[in-house]
Amino acid sequence: MIELVNLTKEYKNVKAVKNLSMFIERGEIVGLLGPNGAGKSTAISMLSSLVEPTSGDVRFENSSIIKNPSKFRKIVGIVPQEIALYEDLTAEENLHFFGRIYHLRGAKLKQKVEEVLEQIGLSDRRKDVVKKFSGGMKRRLNIGVAMLHDPEMIIMDEPTVGIDPQSRNYILETVKRLNEERNMTVLYTSHYMEEVEFLCDRIYIMDKGDLIASGTKEEIKKILSSENTIAIKADRFNKEFLDALQNHPSVNRITIGEREVLIIVPRAVNMFSEVIKIAEEYGIELVSVDNKAPTLEDVFLHLTGRALRD
């Protein structure tokens, strides 16, 4: 349906996106993952023809979106990372305004506003000004505005940042439902692995402007096939123990939490007995030591050596 070809955007000091190539098929939910500053929003801005790429192209139905954006704009709904709403207007007034912007009018407009309010679960708060909404409600309205004109495709830029788990689930379920019921194509950007794992068929991972991995969930997890992640849980760790783990020749990477330490080790090594031995040596009372199924988070850690979120 849509294809990004060697898309590059250079700002004065940074290359925000470097040679990004990706495609999205009709009816897919595609995830775009990456930490802060990876270039996700920049990629989306070029995709929605708000920012002109330094080089490269975006193709939609055999023509360039960069040169001729209007055809694509008609069928796409964009949910920006920011809350792009009038805080002083009510939910309903916002929807009305943006509906008119999409040339909806009269009964059709009314019906669409009604429908969207229903979809985003804000029917009973329609008369409240957005200023008074919770973060989650604002996010939902932010999505609702992008759905007014019945887009075939929706692009969501981190639609769940900074909101409560309930709203987050609501949004994820809504996206899934839109995809299943209306065959809506979705490009979903996030730095939450679990969201992308839950929603997406295919995934692209970016870091510092580069595409560092792409494929289906399974394909990407296979990247980890040669390694194991072991989760070590205890009520308390001490420095000696952690140093010993860190310096252990078989430990490739280590992530330290308060009560859980993750280590990545080659699959061939049996690390369990090693961990228990070290724990005894430094007086750590272990709660559990588990072999963890690889997650996308692990993949990211593997690829970049950094956790996705700080």
Partner 1 sequence: MVWNIIKKQGLLFLRNPQELLLLLALPMILITILSTALGGLINGGSSPISINVAFIEHGDEQREVEKFLRDIEEQLPPQAVEEVRANIEQMLPITIIKESIFGNEEISEFIEVDYLNVSKREDVLNNDEYTTLIEVPENFTYDTLTNLVFDSGKVPSLILMQNEGQQVGTGVINNLLTQFQEQLTLGEFLGKNQIDMDNLQLTSDVKGEIVTINEQEPVSSKAYYTLGMVLMNVLFLAGAIGSYAFHEKQIHVFDRIMIANVSRWSYFIGVLLSGTIFAFIQCLIIFGFSRVVFGVTWPDLTAFFLITLAFSLSVGGIAVLLVAISYRINTETITNFFTSIIVTLFAVLGGSFAPIGDYSKVIQFLGNLTPNGASMTAYLTILRGEELLKIGNEILYLIGFAAAAVVIAVLCFPKRRLSQ
Ligand X SMILES: Nc1ncnc2c1ncn2[C@@H]1O[C@H](COP(=O)(O)OP(=O)(O)OP(=O)(O)O)[C@@H](O)[C@H]1O
Q: How many residues bind partner 1 (CB under 8 A)?
A: 29
Segment near Mg ion (CB under 5 A); pick from 33-41, 222-230, 276-284, 288-296: 33-41
Closest distance between ligand X and the C-beta of residue 12, in Å? Answer: 6
- Chain residues 46-85 in contact with ligand X, contact rule CB under 6 A: 81
Instruction: Tell me phi and psi for residue 180, to 5 degrees.
Output: -75, -45
Instruction: Pick between residue 14 and residue 256 the one whose CB is nearest to ligand X.
Output: 14
- CA-derived radius of gyration, the chain: 23
Question: What distances in angstroms separate CA 52 from CA 59, 69, 71, 299, one per listed residue?
Answer: 14, 11, 17, 32
Beta bridge partners of 239: none
The binder of 187, among ligand X, Mg ion, partner 1, none, by C-beta within 5 to 8 A per type, is none
Among 3, 8, 37, 252, the residue binding ligand X under the rule CB under 6 A is 37
Residues 74, 236, 267, 277: which binds partner 1 (CB under 8 A)? 74
Helices 135-145 + 91-101 axis angle, to 10: 20
Q: Applying CB under 5 A, which of residues 8, 54, 81, 250 lies at the interface with Mg ion?
A: 81
Which of the listed partners (ligand X, Mg ion, partner 1, none) does 302 bind, with a CB threshold of 5 to 8 Å by partner kind? none
Angstrom distance (rounded) from CA 115 to CA 111: 6
From the CB of residue 202, how many other CB atoms can be counted at a distance below 10 Å? 19
**Site for partner 1 contains 52 (CB under 8 A):** yes
Cα separation, 232 vs 137, in Å, equals 38
Among 38, 78, 211, 263, binds ligand X (CB under 6 A): 38
Give 186's strand partners: 29, 154
The neighbouring-strand residues paired with 30 are 187, 202
Of the candidate spans 34-42, 126-134, 167-175, 263-271, the one that interacts with Mg ion by CB under 5 A turns out to be: 34-42
Which residues of the chain form contacts with Mg ion (CB under 5 A)? 40-41, 81
Residues in the site for ligand X, rule: CB under 6 A? 11, 14, 16, 34, 36-42, 81, 191
